A and B are shown apart, each in its own frame.
Chain A
Amino acid sequence: QVQLQESGPGLVKPSQTLSLTCAVSGASITSGDFYWTWIRQPAGKGLEWIGRMYRSGSTHYNSTLRSRVTISLDTSNNRFSLKLTSVTAADTAVYYCARGGLERRNWFDPWGQGTLVTVSS
Chain B
Amino acid sequence: SYVLIQSPSVSVAPGQTARITCGGNYIGRKSVHWYLQRPGQAPVVVVYDDSDRPSGIPERFSGSKSGNTATLTISRVEAGDEADYYCQVWDSSGDQAVFGGGTKVTVL
- Residues of chain A touching chain B, judged by Cβ–Cβ distance below 8 Å, are 37, 46-49, 51-52, 60-63, 96, 100, 104-109, 111-114
Contact = CB atoms under 8 A, between A and B. Distances in A.
B101 interface: yes
B107 to A, nearest CB: 20
A104 B45 contact: no
10 contacts: A46-B99, A46-B100, A47-B99, A49-B99, A104-B31, A106-B33, A106-B89, A106-B90, A107-B88, A111-B42
Interface string B45-58: 10011000010000
Contacts of B108: none
Interface string B76-105: 000000000010111000111111111000
Contact of A46 (B48, B49, B94, B102): B102
A44 to B, nearest CB: 10
Contact of B42 (A60, A100, A104, A113): A113
Across chains A and B, which 3 residue pairs bring their CB atoms closest together, nearest first?
A: A107-B33, A49-B97, A111-B42
Contact of A47 (B44, B45, B86, B94): B86
B1 interface: yes
A111 B44 contact: yes
B44 A104 contact: no
A52 B97 CA distance: 9
Contacts of A109: 44-45, 48, 54
Contacts of A60: 95-96
Contacts of A63: 1, 94, 96
A11 to B, nearest CB: 20
A37 B42 CA distance: 14
B32 to A, nearest CB: 9
B14 interface: no
Contacts of A37: 97
B43 interface: yes
Contacts of B86: 46-47
Interface in B13-30: none
Contacts of A49: 96-99
